[in-house]
Amino acid sequence: MGLIARYQERLPFAPGDPVVSLEEGSTPLVLAERVSERAGTEVWLKLEGANPTGSFKDRGMTCAVSAAVREGAEAVICASTGNTAASAAAYAARAGLTGAVIVPEGKIATGKLAQALMHGAKVIALRGNFDQALKLVRELAERHPIALVNSVNPFRLEGQKTAAFEVLDALGELDALCIPVGNAGNVTAYWKGFREMDSRPRLFGFQAEGSAPLVHGAPVEHPETIASAIRIGNPARWEEAMEAFTGSHGGVAAVSDAQILDAYRFLAANEGVFCEPASAASVAGLLAHGARDAERVVCVLTGHGLKDPQTALSQAGAVVPCEPDIAAVERAVLA
């Protein structure tokens, strides 16, 4: 069952409204024993890469695109570091709408680009960064009858808050939630979801060192990090995110690319969980900064590792070449 059907009474949709769904949500929440050992506390992983297009963006997109159809929109548009583009393209295709996505040229992971193109979206590579792309699509959506499906769209947050419901359904209670922060829509959505359920876990947001505007308290003009999904210098949900950190008695901190990649490899090799680099920032942050005295922590792994095969191959061991005879295979396997 999709999110809108499952949580209709908590979402701004009425029975009979058009619903565009790929049965997103209901993602696994798994206990991470090795991470728990390293962190010295009980750690659970929310595997958002298990959504239909491989990231949590689908939670928001089912709501944003359903609302766009209800409003009679014929096209949807977004600026994206990759996953919003992939998700918008898929849901637009499913709804029979035209999709256009603006991405920073050369700065999005291969899998995400392949998705957006395969789903038939018009993919526009901007000679600029995400922040410039977002500014331009906001202007475009004001001038034309095109639905903007970035997380500045309130329906996106409504959909994404359901992840908090799922975490509470599964665990009952938790002390802290660790989450990567880019445009800061997702942390805002979790906080909304938790508050609607009268729950107040501490929210710890993590940004990449080279693009950590919330940590520094000022926009970053040229954000840089290997974690392309969070390469954002001027988050649209700045104030709300800060409110979530303060209101929950959590905080926001930075992690280096080296720490992100360490967590990324550790999760794959020791937990069997392959997430994308940006997602690993949640675990990297927990390992580097802790979650104070939290006894039960959930780390949100926002997207699937297959999104970014290039980074994976640059971080993993090499393949073993082998002649097709038994002695050679024996040597290769047993060495």
Ligand X SMILES: *Cc1c(COP(=O)(O)O)cnc(C)c1O
In sequence order, what are the residues at sequence separation of 6 or more whose Cβ sits closer than 8 angstroms to the Cβ of residue 47? 27, 28, 29, 30, 273, 275, 301
Could you say which residues in the range 108-137 bind ligand X, by CB under 6 A? none
Give least dist CB 323 to ligand X, A.
41
Give least dist CB 65 to ligand X, A.
16
Give least dist CB 54 to ligand X, A.
9
Q: Does 278 bind ligand X (CB under 6 A)?
A: yes
Q: Does 153 bind ligand X (CB under 6 A)?
A: no
Closer of 151 and 162 to ligand X (Cβ): 151
Contact string (CB under 6 A) for ligand X, positions 166-205, x = contact: --------------xxxxxxx-------------------
Report how far residue 26's alpha carbon sits from residue 102's, in angstroms, rounded to the nearest whole number.
29
Q: Is 92 exposed, middle or buried (0-12, 13-18, 19+ CB in 10 A)?
A: buried
Give least dist CB 332 to ligand X, A.
35
Give least dist CB 327 to ligand X, A.
45
Closer of 310 and 329 to ligand X (Cβ): 310
Q: Where are the alpha helices (DSSP H) in the chain?
A: 3-6, 33-39, 57-70, 83-95, 110-118, 130-143, 154-160, 162-171, 185-196, 213-216, 238-247, 257-266, 277-289, 309-315, 326-334
Closer of 21 and 207 to ligand X (Cβ): 207
Report how far residue 218's alpha carbon sits from residue 262's, in angstroms, rounded to the nearest whole number.
27
Give least dist CB 82 to ligand X, A.
7
Q: Does 230 bind ligand X (CB under 6 A)?
A: yes
Could you say which residues in the range 132-151 bind ligand X, by CB under 6 A? 151
Total Cβ atoms within 10 A of residue 78: 33
- Which listed residue (253, 302, 308, 312) binds ligand X by CB under 6 A? 302
Residue nearest to ligand X (CB): 303
In sequence order, what are the residues at sequence separation of 6 or more whose Cβ sits closer than 8 angstroms to the Cβ of residue 334? none
**Size of the residue set binding ligand X (CB under 6 A):** 18
Is residue 309 within 8 A of residue 277, CB to CB? The reply is no
Give least dist CB 50 to ligand X, A.
13
One-character DSSP codes across 215-266: HHTS--SS---S-GGG--SS-TTHHHHHHHHHHTT-EEEEE-HHHHHHHHHH
Could you say which residues in the range 39-58 bind ligand X, by CB under 6 A? 55, 57
Report how far residue 9's alpha carbon sits from residue 58's, in angstroms, rounded to the nearest whole number.
19
Report how far residue 79's alpha carbon sits from residue 96's, in angstroms, rounded to the nearest whole number.
20
Give least dist CB 280 to ligand X, A.
9
Closer of 83 and 311 to ligand X (Cβ): 83
Angle between helices 277-289 and 257-266 (to 10 degrees): 100
Could you say which residues in the range 56-75 bind ligand X, by CB under 6 A? 57
3-state secondary structure of 44: strand
CA dihedral 8, 13, 16, 19 (to 10 degrees): -90
- Which listed residue (51, 248, 279, 311) binds ligand X by CB under 6 A? 279
Give least dist CB 321 to ligand X, A.
33
Query: Rounded to whole angstroms, what are the CA distances from 213 to 105, 181, 248, 317?
Result: 22, 10, 20, 34
Closer of 234 and 279 to ligand X (Cβ): 279
The span of 124-132, 192-200, 276-284, 316-324 binding ligand X (CB under 6 A) equals: 276-284
Closer of 42 and 225 to ligand X (Cβ): 225
Residues of this chain that interact with ligand X (CB under 6 A) are 55, 57, 83, 151, 180-186, 229-230, 276, 278-279, 302-303
